[in-house]
Structure 1
Amino acid sequence: MGEVVKDEYQTDYVAGQDNVNPLGLDLHAPVSLITAIVVVLFVVGTLMFPAGAKELLDGAKWAIIAKFDWFFLLSANIFVLFSLALIFLPVGKIRLGGQDATPEFSRASWFSMLFAAGMGIGLMFWAVAEPVAYYTGWYETPLGAEAFSEEGARMAMGATMYHWGLHPWAIYAVVALSLAFFAYNKGLPLTIRSAFFPLLKDRVWGWPGHIIDILAAVATIFGLATSLGFGAQQAASGLDFLFGISGGLNVQMAIITGVTFAALISVVRGLDGGVKILSNINMVLAALLLFFIIFAGPTMAIIQNLWVTSSTYVTKMIPLSNPFGREDEAWFHGWTVFYWAWWISWSPFVGMFIARVSKGRTVREFVTAVLLIPTVITVVWMSSFGGAALEQIQAGVGTLAANGLTDVSLAMFEMLQNISFVGLTSAVGVLLVLVFFVTSSDSGSLVVDSITAGGKTDSPTAQRVFWVVMEGAIAAALIFGGGDDALGALQATAISAGLPFTAILLVMCWGLMKGLNHERQLLIAEGKL
């Protein structure tokens, strides 16, 4: 027997012990009340002054991006190195939930859920639009590469992959692993504040923890409502482009209503009967569309592009990650720093959802699945969709070649026009977009519900339904009352929240490492590791 090691993470606090029960709901009073007040005040103020709110908040967003660009980039690099180290360190053997814990979901379903929640919807739009934007010089070019050149094509694919590869998934991995470890191994509530127990101890159950959870809840609600609002506009544009259905306000409202209703049914059915099934459908449809593009599109160009994308990504990662002395500052701020702030602002939502479905996995298995596997799949996805689009432009074929990038939401459909069975593939694309939106709304509602319930995961069904409806109502109200200006203001607020959350994530890394090392000592002392 080894030396007895005291567990420093014991607490008398129980998830939900501070909750109140108005109207049959189970809410953590300070977090729920303040979150609701902040959201209502923001929505009302934005609807009253949409243009002014967008101008003010956009100014704050771009000021943060310009002043703290170095902070976002260096922090993101730290998250990547930290996550990769966890794969090889001895703490990688620790299992979430205890050494005898077993996974709740199959590997296929688990991966489908984390991938769909993480960035599935983004890949549908940006896999074509982003490399085309870089290659054609639509909005500056990365590292000063010349538009329409061979080097420009390589940089277009490598820079796109950089934004969707290791860095965003490392951000999600830090949050998800911290929450899963402290919830399943230390018995703390499944909420953001629990990751700060090593620093704050029992003070985390007071106002310091309330503030952390309020920030997380507000960022999640704003991020989801923004995505739902812009997504409705994009889906409506796609329907107009493909089928001649007017993409006006009525169609956008119908899309939001349909997505919200489907998410409501899914959330009532729970993780097994809702999100898991939707995520599996997503992955099957996405795989079918991907294989069709590879074999019906420019197959050899796509295969060659796999090497171009992956090699450029690896060789240009350090220059792209350097925040100092950049010659491409406009591109750097408008794309990379913007992306990093957006991923970080989404990390409470995606991280908590991934934690929710990852009990029973070892740290090594968890980080490998969350960090490396999505990066490999994204290389294939980007090389296929983006590579096919660049091949068409270089060959002078299709709308993208003739007109360039005119509408981000239509880029994928314009690429599909030049491949066989365009009607079928475009319909699958629209269906994928809608199902991805339903999955995001559903999983996001579960996360907001857990945060506002003080870390409980078994709150009343009516409570989860409330958050689904609220997200749809916020998006619909902003589109109806303020249009792009209101949604832009909401997005600017969500991105600005990335700054404080970057500092929060850095503290999470320290707390997680401290907790994992302590857990390893306990397991060695008990003869379990």
Structure 2
Amino acid sequence: MTERAKPAVEVGSRYDNVDYQIGQDNVQIAGFDIHNPVFGISAVLILIFVIGTLLAPEAANGMLLDARNWAIAHFDWLFMAGGNLFVIFCLALIFLPVGKIRIGGESAKPEFSTMSWFAMLFAAGMGIGLMFWSVAEPVAYYTDWYGTPLGVQALTPEGKSLALGATMFHWGLHPWAMYGIVGLSLAFFAYNKGLPLTVRSAFYPILGSRTWGPIGDAIDIVAVLATIFGLATSLGLGAQQAASGLAYLGIVENGIGTQIALIAFITSIAIFSVVRGLEGGVKLLSNINMIIAFILLGAVIALGSITGFFSNLLELFGSYIKNIGPLSNWVGREDESWFHGWTVFYWAWWISWSPFVGMFIARVSKGRTVREFMLAVLVVPTIVCGVWVTAFGGNAIDEIQAGTGALAQGLTEVPLAMFQMMESMPMTSFISFLAIVLVMVFFVTSSDSGSLVIDGITAGGKEDVPVAQRVFWATLEGLIAAALLYGGGSEALKALQAGAVTAGLPFAVILILMCISLYKGLADDARRLKYTKARA
């Protein structure tokens, strides 16, 4: 292993002479190109967690749920204030002069078309979650399944409006701002300053040479753990939803065997995609994702009420704008159980996902200006999420109001909610099967993009790592999900999810510091460009 080099500049100055080389701390073992100690410590901690959870799933679930509940109860103010800060910061970057800075330098060109770029952003960031919650969440709020937002009365016109608006609040500007901060930070410091494409690099303006020491190692390790736990949780939950849908159509029985078979199938396709790389794998699947998603979206709108869709769309965005202030507040809330159980939980979950989604966004965004980046990451997905929630959730609430379909009897199983909504539509079998296919393809894109991210972090920021290393992490995600489902069932998955959410607490602080670091870097670059142009 080579000796660690120290950057040649001090904190807060320019980065032109930083001599830290990407991957210089790496060691080559059995065809792997691994960063020491991030790879080793991350792998050991993952192994300890999985073994401990399998040996005592209920105890592990109880312990991690307690940790999650403690973090949510005592630091709700941090999650909420941080989420508001992130939105304001990202919107400010769109209008400030630093918005003209181009990722990768003035001469950099985008590597992907705008549509492929949008497709990859959405597939990695939100796609699978919307499949799971776009019906269940607004229905839960409307029917008072687990409390109602702002204490509104359930099963009323006001309840419907706030159910749509609160769902949009959880899938709109706030989560995408979290992704945007991480994505822009990593892209800027990697492609404009030549630092390794890892989470630690975003803190160079604050930490200086300490970025490459134990503090930086700890930041990257937390990022790896949050990413793989979040992906494995989503893979397990997605397998449960797909299996529920197949059973609902009478194709197979919904059991552990079916769920594990689906995980194996999804993981095998993800491995194939990861081997093909970003261009031939993730980009291709993301484009396929979007095509299927728009077909499904169009079918649900056309087969439901088109006038009802547009009415619900206006109601959703109107309620979102009207209630974004009250929903963003954390002081004196009367709906505390709902607020903690949904909003704070979501913010912790999105923050824990931000290293994965942010780094993936960074990898595909070279050549875009800061302004283009923030508009694409913040505004476009928010609009798409709003249209999707309107089509699925709005239609489900309309069915409840009309007293038609299984959802009119109440929300029973969250994985079945989407299929129960489709039951009242023409061509039920076709659109339900299309939804199952979309769930699985979304999971493949999440898995392979997540594997590429973990590869990069555990390889010290390298973007071209050995194929065997990519396969290792993609396989590990599937094995974790399958092992926990088989050995501990839903309790083990809940423990995994609780662990990922708890990791959101330290990362909330990391994101706040990242805002400071990013602005320092952008302002430094803006001053340098202004000086250079003045001298020209």
Provide TM-score, normalisation by structure 2.
Answer: 0.97
Residue identity in the other structure for 1:450: G
2:226 is matched with 219
Equivalents in 1 of 2:338, 2:168: separation in Å? 15
Q: Which moved more, 1:476-485 or 1:150-159?
A: 476-485
- 1:7 partner SS: coil
| Residue 151 (structure 1) aligns with | 158
For residues 525 and 242 of structure 1, the distance between their equivalents in structure 2, rounded to whole angstroms, comes to 65
Deviation at 1:59, TM superposition (A): 0.8
Establish whether residue 198 from structure 1 lines up as the match of residue 185 from structure 2.
no
In structure 2, do the counterparts of structure 1 residues 6 and 218 end up closer, same or farther at CA, with 3 Å as the change threshold? closer
1:455 aligned partner: 461
- The match for 2:383 is 376
Q: 1:493 aligns with which of 482, 485, 499?
A: 499
Partners of 1:25 and 1:161 lie apart in 2 by 43
* Alignment match of 1:353 (pick from 345, 353, 360): 360
Q: Is the 8 A contact 1:9 1:197 kept in 2?
A: no
2:477 alignment partner AA: E
2:248 maps to 241
- For residues 259 and 126 of structure 1, the distance between their equivalents in structure 2, rounded to whole angstroms, comes to 20
Contact 2:86 2:181 (8 Å CA) reproduced: yes
CA displacement at 1:377 relative to structure 2: 1.2
Tell me, yes or no, if the aligned pair for 1:240 and 1:247 is still in contact at 8 Å: yes
Displacement of 1:420 in angstroms is: 1.3
**Aligned equivalent of 2:167:** 160
Deviations 1:218-272 (A, max 9, x none): 1111111111112111211111111241111111111010000000000011111
Deviations 1:434-480 (A, max 9, x none): 00000000000000000000000111111101100111111111111
- The residue aligned with 2:373 is 366
1:422 to 407, 418, 428: 428
1:7 and 2:11 are equivalent in the alignment: no
1:7 deviates by 2.2
| Deviations 1:408-436 (CA, angstroms, capped at 9, x unpaired) | 11111111111111111011100000000
Partner of 1:327: 334
Q: Measure, in 2, the Cα distance between the counterparts of 1:340 and 1:43.
A: 25
**Counterpart position of 2:414:** 408
1:440 corresponding residue in structure 2? 446
Asked if the contact 2:35/2:460 (under 8 Å) is kept, the reply is yes
Partner of residue 3, structure 2: none
- Confirm or deny that 1:126 pairs with 2:133: yes
Find the counterpart in structure 1 of residue 521 from structure 2. 515
Where does residue 350 of structure 2 map in the other structure? 343
Whole-Å Cα distance in 2 between the matches of residues 161 and 249 of structure 1?
33
Distance 2:224 2:500 in 1: 11
2:157 and 2:240 mapped to 1: Cα distance? 34
1:110 aligns to 2:138 (yes or no): no
Tell me if structure 2 keeps the 8 A contact 1:10–1:186.
Answer: no
Contact 1:11–1:202 (CA under 8 A) maintained in structure 2? no
Distance in 2 between the 1:505 and 1:318 partners? 22
Which whole-Å CA distance do the structure 2 matches of 1:127 and 1:203 have between them? Answer: 43
Question: Which one is further off, 185-194 or 217-226?
Answer: 217-226
- Could you give the per-residue CA deviations for residues 379-430 of structure 1, whole angstroms, max 9, x where no partner exists? 11111111111111101111111x2111111111111111111111011100
CA contact (8 A) 2:15 2:193 kept: no
Q: Which sits farther off after the overlay, 377-386 or 188-197?
A: 377-386
**Are 1:505 and 2:504 an aligned pair?**
no
Which whole-Å CA distance do the structure 2 matches of 1:252 and 1:388 have between them? Answer: 28
State the number of aligned residues.
524
Q: Distance in 1 between matches of 2:485 and 2:396?
A: 31
Query: 1:298–1:391: 8 Å Cα contact kept in structure 2?
Result: no
Would you say 1:484 and 2:472 are equivalent positions?
no
Structure 2 distance, partners of 1:463, 1:372, is 35
Q: Secondary structure at the match of 2:463?
A: coil
- 1:478 maps to a residue whose letter is L
Percent identity between the two aligned chains: 60
Residue number in structure 2 paired with 1:47: 54
Q: Which moved more, 1:10-19 or 1:492-501?
A: 10-19
Question: Where does residue 139 of structure 1 map in the other structure?
Answer: 146
Partner of 1:274: 281
Where has structure 1 moved over 3 Å in runs of 4 or more?
Answer: none
**Superposed displacement of residue 115, structure 1:** 0.5
Q: Given the alignment of the two structures, is residue 95 of structure 1 paired with residue 102 of structure 2, yes or no? A: yes
C-alpha offsets along residues 77-110 of structure 1, whole Å, 9 cap, x if unaligned?
0000000000000000000000100000000001
Distance 1:124 1:43 in 2: 27
Counterparts of 1:9 and 1:427, CA distance in 2: 54
SS of 2:493's partner is helix
The alpha carbon displacement at 1:10 in A equals 3.3
CA distance in 1 between counterparts of 2:88 and 2:17 reads 30
Q: 1:297 to 1:90 in 2, by over 3 A?
A: same
Q: Is the 8 A contact 1:9 1:198 kept in 2?
A: no
Q: 2:88 and 2:433 mapped to 1: Cα distance?
A: 40
Structure 1 counterpart SS, 2:249: helix
Unaligned runs of 5+ in 1: none
Change in Cα spacing, 1:512 to 1:6, as seen in structure 2 (3 Å) is: closer
Q: Which moved more, 1:10-19 or 1:257-266?
A: 10-19
- TM-score normalised by the chain length of structure 1: 0.98
